[in-house]
């Protein structure tokens, strides 16, 4: 049975995982609903105290499996890792989270469309400066058409703001390239 709506899920990966689920109407490409949340991976009680990252990985995999099963996204998007010479361990962890998100997306449905964005591309894509800080991102996301009806960006975490930016950028690309969406349905 065909549905009138499809969902996208966007992630701001990290130890505090920002998640945005956006529901979009097929015919009009109008945003129908937006849900945001933050998953705090730092709070996971380790299965193995020696290997905290393993515990976070197991938790993230279980979370993603439930999320994908519940929302059945046609599109998943996320921010790519960036080189940070001052904090190489953080870059390694971020890369691991991104790899898990991508692998779990493909495991859920190999035909799910995946969008990956560089941090500066996201910022510029929503009208912020390429070097925008968290406050500037909150202001820019708050000005996006259609977001304010569903989410008060001043009341969500900075990670949710980032996932909202990624979700909106994905939405804008899909809306402007509808023929590509029809190919994956």
Whether 11 and 77 have beta carbons less than 8 Å apart is answered as yes
pLDDT tens string, the chain, 185 residues long: the values are 467 999 999 999 998 999 999 999 988 899 999 999 999 987 777 666 677 888 888 899 999 999 999 999 999 999 998 766 677 788 888 999 999 999 999 999 999 999 999 988 999 988 887 788 888 888 889 888 888 888 988 899 999 999 999 999 999 999 888 666 555 44
Asked if 138 and 164 count as a contact pair (C-beta separation under 8 A), the reply is no
Task: Please enumerate in sequence order all residues whose Cβ is within 8 A of that of 115, keeping only pairs 6 or more positions apart, or say none.
Answer: 75, 76, 77, 78, 170, 173
Residue pLDDT, tens place only, 96-148: 999 999 999 999 999 999 999 998 899 998 888 778 888 888 888 988 888 88
Structure tokens at 57: 């990985």
* CA 61 – CA 100 distance, rounded (Å): 7
pTM over 0.85: yes
Residue 15 class from Cβ within 10 Å (0-12 exposed, 13-18 middle, 19+ buried)?
A: middle
pLDDT at site 185: 46
> Domains of the chain, with CATH numbers?
5-184 (3.30.420.10)
Q: Is 179 exposed, middle or buried (0-12, 13-18, 19+ CB in 10 A)?
A: exposed
| 3-state SS, residue 75 | strand
Q: How far apart are CA 131 and CA 152, in angstroms?
A: 23
Separation between Cα atoms, residue 44 and residue 115, nearest integer Å: 28
Main-chain dihedrals φ then ψ at residue 79, nearest 5 degrees: -85, 140
Q: For 150-155, which contacts have Cβ atoms below 8 Å and span 24 or more sequence positions?
A: 150/31, 150/33, 150/34, 151/34, 151/36
Which residues face 115 on adjacent strands? 77
């Amino acid at each position: 049975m065909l549905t009138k709506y499809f969902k996208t899920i966007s992630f701001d990966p990290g130890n505090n995982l920002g998640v945005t689920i956006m529901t979009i109407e097929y015919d009009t490409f109008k945003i129908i609903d937006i849900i945001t949340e933050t998953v705090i991976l730092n709070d996971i009680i380790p299965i193995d105290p020696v290997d905290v990252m393993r515990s976070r990985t197991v938790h993230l995999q279980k979370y993603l499996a439930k999320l994908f099963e519940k929302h059945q996204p046609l599109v998943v998007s996320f921010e790519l890792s960036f080189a940070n010479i001052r904090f190489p361990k953080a870059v390694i962890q971020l890369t691991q989270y991104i790899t898990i998100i991508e692998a779990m997306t493909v495991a859920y449905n190999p035909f799910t469309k995946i969008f990956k964005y560089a941090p500066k591309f996201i910022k510029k894509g929503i009208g912020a400066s390429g070097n925008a800080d968290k406050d500037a991102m909150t202001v820019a996301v708050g000005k996006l058409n259609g977001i304010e009806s569903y989410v008060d960006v001043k009341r969500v975490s900075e990670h949710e703001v980032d996932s909202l930016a990624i979700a909106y950028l994905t939405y804008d690309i899909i809306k402007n390239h509808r023929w590509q969406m029809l190919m994956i349905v």
